[in-house]
Amino acid sequence: MAKLDAETRNLIDGKLVPASNGGEFENINPATEEVIGVSADGTKEDMESAIAAARRAFDETDWSTDHALRKRCLEQLNQALVEAREDLRQIVIAEAGSPILITYQVQVDNYIDAMPYWSNLTTSYEYETPMSDIEFMGSPQGRIMRREAVGVVGAITPWNFPLYLNLAKIGPALAAGNTVVLKPAPDTPWSATHLGRLVAEKTDIPPGVLNIVASSDHELGAMLSRDPRVDLVTFTGSTATGRAVMEAAAATVKKTFLELGGKSATIILDDIDLDLAAPMSGIAVCTHAGQGCAIQTRTLLPRARYEEGVEKIAAIMSGVAYGDPLEPGNLMGPVVSRKQQERVLSYIEKGKQDGARVVVGGGTPSHLEKGYFIEPTLLADVDPDSVVAQEEIFGPVLCVIPYEDEEDAIRIANNSIYGLSGSIWSGDIDRALSVARKIRTGTLSVNGAQWFDVDTPFGGYRQSGVGRENGVAGFEEYLETKIVAVPR
Ligand code: NAD
């Protein structure tokens, strides 16, 4: 791979800057284990400066009230993203190990192309709407509802879809008139810092409106959750860290918007052609090596057709193409780090100890000498209460579970602390829809239909999160509501 010209400095108060102490940390390509470069290792002082700059920009400039300025700036950002598209693609592939195949969809292109959705909302959204009059002590009262920016937004993102998630937070937060401090995951700093270069060099976004602080220190995320100058924290990551963010934010009663983990189920009903349904559940779990919160990682098969279903899923998982993320035919690359590789392998071991049968994979591939790869792994006969059926593995590991009847399938699907996504396969769409109404998750797909788009509110029930990302509902997460009463 050619050397990437990625930005390595942080963006603080309008300037691209090294860390305050000059520190840097290594960026590692998970497919080759090679150091591809460094990133400024943001310090606590840097985070202090970034929060102060964002506060000042919100309080002392007209960013939050000048809709035309915001529209122009976000259109410039959109144009800059379009021009930098291929650089960004290579960055995401190199630091996240993402297969190039999915960069043409959600990982890179979908969200660059989605930016006009946010820039348009700067002016098309109704920020002020009259309400119907009410009567108070005999006289009519008018009311106006205003929607205003919340203030300073702390945005904390993970490594699995780094560019998409950075843009999914920056886009609506800035469009709504907030100022932002973005702290990306340490494994994927450039998907954020490179955006800083585009903002500094290609847009009129005023200093302090967007700050980007990459760091190897997770504590900088915790600083955002605690700081009284930050009004809202938008976080995507694990449920464990989400709880920590919520707890830290409680001290200043900060609004929190959390997109967390998932353990979504595919329910294959007994009236569907298994040749249609089974392969999809095997392929889905291998996409980006299973590192997607909404990926279905449990497949529920009717007891009567269980062995047949397991065989069909095994056949497809055994043939999944994986390896070099730059190879266009590969559906999966590595997991993001040695730490994640060890974590996924330890889950497979735990599954075996708890009685699961390894039908496909189960370890690291022998044909790939370098890289944090995991074999596509099919675990059958999984106890729905066991650790592998309950905890998020975040690797290409599918748990197959038999069920007795429809009610049993719904019960097993809902037997989770999570509630993010899922899918249902049936020969009868009405039957599938009636099952969908009983599943407690934020998104569902029937017979492989796709729900994802920038205007689809996405998020979870239960411990999969609080709030919705994308769509008008997602935009409104970044707005306060003010009611002004006026005499009639
Ligand atoms: P993580 O929770 O370890 O880290 C996410 C981010 O939080 C990183 O930037 C990290 O530096 C920061 N962080 C760590 N400790 C913190 C603290 N105490 N306070 C504030 N910030 C802190 O998650 P990860 O391992 O990077 O990502 C994988 C997880 O993200 C998976 O569980 C996955 O399901 C979840 N995820 C959810 C969604 C969604 O939309 N629901 C999308 C993608 C990923």
| Residue having the nearest C-alpha atom to atom 14 of ligand 1 | 218
Let me know if 135 is a catalytic residue: no
* Cα–ligand 1 centroid distance for 301 (angstroms): 31
Q: Tokens 């990459």 belong to which residue?
A: 214
Contact 139, 486 (CB under 8 A): no
**CA 288 to mean position of chain CA atoms:** 13
Q: Is the CB–ligand 1 distance for residue 392 below 6 Å?
A: yes
- Using a 6 Å cutoff on CB, does residue 260 contact ligand 1? yes
d(CA 393, CA 380): 15
CB of residue 457 inside a 6 A radius of ligand 1:
no
Q: Which long-range contacts (CB under 8 A, 24 or more apart) does 21-28 make?
A: 21/45, 25/186, 25/189, 25/215, 25/216, 27/95, 27/189, 27/190, 28/95, 28/187, 28/337
The pTM of this model reads 0.97
CATH code of 264-453, in short, is 3.40.309.10
For 371-385, what is the mean pLDDT? Answer: 98
The active-site residue, picked from 7, 259, 375, 392, is 259
CA of 205 to the centre of ligand 1 (A): 27
- Report the separation in Å between the CA atom of 255 and the middle of ligand 1, taken as the mean of its atom positions: 18
CB-ligand 1 contact for 344 (6 Å cutoff): no
* pLDDT of 83 strictly over 80: yes
Per-domain boundaries in the chain: 10-260+464-487, 264-453
Ligand 1 binding pocket includes 19 (Cβ within 6 Å): no
pLDDT digits (tens, 9 = 90+) for 228-266: 999 999 999 999 999 999 999 999 999 999 999 999 999
Ligand 1 neighbour 214 (Cβ under 6 A): no
* pLDDT, tens digit (0-9, with 9 covering 90-100), for 397-408: 999 999 999 999
The reported pLDDT for the residue numbered 3 is 76
Taking the CA of residue 158 as reference, the ligand 1 atom at the shortest distance is: 26
- What is d(CA 50, CA 215) in angstroms, rounded to the nearest whole number? 13
pLDDT score for 301: 98
Q: How many whole angstroms separate alpha carbon 380 and alpha carbon 389?
A: 11
237 lines ligand 1 (CB under 6 A): yes
Cα dihedral sign for 458, 387, 376, 36?
positive
CB atoms within 10 A of CB 354: 15
CA of 237 to the centre of ligand 1 (A): 2
* Distance of CA 104 from the midpoint of ligand 1 (Å): 24
State which ligand 1 atom lies nearest to the alpha carbon of 239.
32
- Mean pLDDT, to the nearest integer, of 439-451? 97
Looking at residue 2, its pLDDT comes to 61
Q: Whose CA is nearest to atom 40 of ligand 1?
A: 259
CATH number, domain 10-260+464-487: 3.40.605.10
Whole-angstrom Cα distance, residue 479 to residue 365?
A: 48
64 within ligand 1 shell (Cβ under 6 A): no
pLDDT > 60? residue 1: no
Q: How far does the centroid of ligand 1 lie from the alpha carbon of residue 222, in Å?
A: 12
How far does residue 465's CA lie from ligand 1's centre (Å)? 12
Burial class of residue 426 in the structure, from the number of CB atoms within 10 Å of its CB (0-12 exposed, 13-18 middle, 19+ buried): buried
- Look up 45 and say whether it is catalytic: no
For 319-332, what is each residue's pLDDT tens digit?
A: 999 999 999 999 99
Answer yes or no: same fold for 10-260+464-487 and 264-453. Answer: no
What confidence tens digit (pLDDT) does each residue in 66-77 have?
A: 999 999 999 999
Catalytic residue among 73, 286, 293, 399: 293
Which residue of 95, 156, 235 sits with most ligand 1 atoms within 8 Å of its CB, as the best mutation to test the pocket?
Answer: 156
**CB-based contacts of 324, cutoff 8 Å, min separation 6:** 31, 330, 333
